[in-house]
Amino acid sequence: MKKLIGGAVILKLIIVAVLGIWTTTAHAQKFALIDMEYILKNIPAYEMANEQLSNISKKWQAEVETVQQEAQNMYKTYQADLVFLSPEMKTKREAEIVAKEQEAQDLKRKYFGTDGELFKKRQSLIKPIQDEIYNAVKEISDAKGYSVVIDRASDMSMIYASPKIDISNEVLTKLGYSK
């Protein structure tokens, strides 16, 4: 019985010690917030990159739609001529329509696919800006001792955060954009 009571006391002491260490460690961490949307809106290079991407996207979308329209026109012509076509001509026209539809799909995939031209262009234009922001946040965090920096724009579950811990303007200043 004594052995059982002694083990329970030791277990309680261990739990209290672990909780004490955990709460001390938790209080020692410093947190900060940034608002990535706010930061990006205040960087002219980002706005220009977005505009450039939008223009390229519209141009490519128009190109894809043109090929799709050609396929639709070919199909309408085929439907109108259907009664006059021989079986060989029907087969040939159908193959042409399928090829044109495939061309539209290939073009769409080339421009807008997961590894498409738009993705690559976005990477080349936006990634350097994001890297700059990351480096500025890292430098500020290292200098001020922040353990964690949270993006308030991407965290939808955040209900309230004190403006005192928002370092967005510091990041903009570090990047050379004063607010």
Structure token pair of residue 65 = 């739609």
Which residues share a beta bridge with 148? 31
What 3-state class would DSSP assign to 39?
helix
Helical residues (DSSP H) of 82-116, grouped into ranges: 87-112
What 3-state class would DSSP assign to 116?
coil
How confident is the model over 80-102, as a mean pLDDT? 94
pLDDT, tens digit, 9 for 90 and up, residues 147-175: 888 888 776 676 677 778 888 888 888 88
Half-sphere exposure of 5 (CA within 13 A, CB side): 2
How confident is the model over 45-55, as a mean pLDDT? 95
pTM, entire model: 0.68
Distance between alpha carbon 54 and the CA centroid of its chain, in Å? 16
Q: What is the pLDDT of residue 4?
A: 43
How confident is the model over 33-60, as a mean pLDDT? 94
Is 80 exceeded by the pLDDT of residue 43? yes
Q: What is the pLDDT of residue 1?
A: 43
pLDDT, tens digit, 9 for 90 and up, residues 92-144: 999 999 999 999 999 999 999 999 999 999 999 999 999 999 999 999 999 99
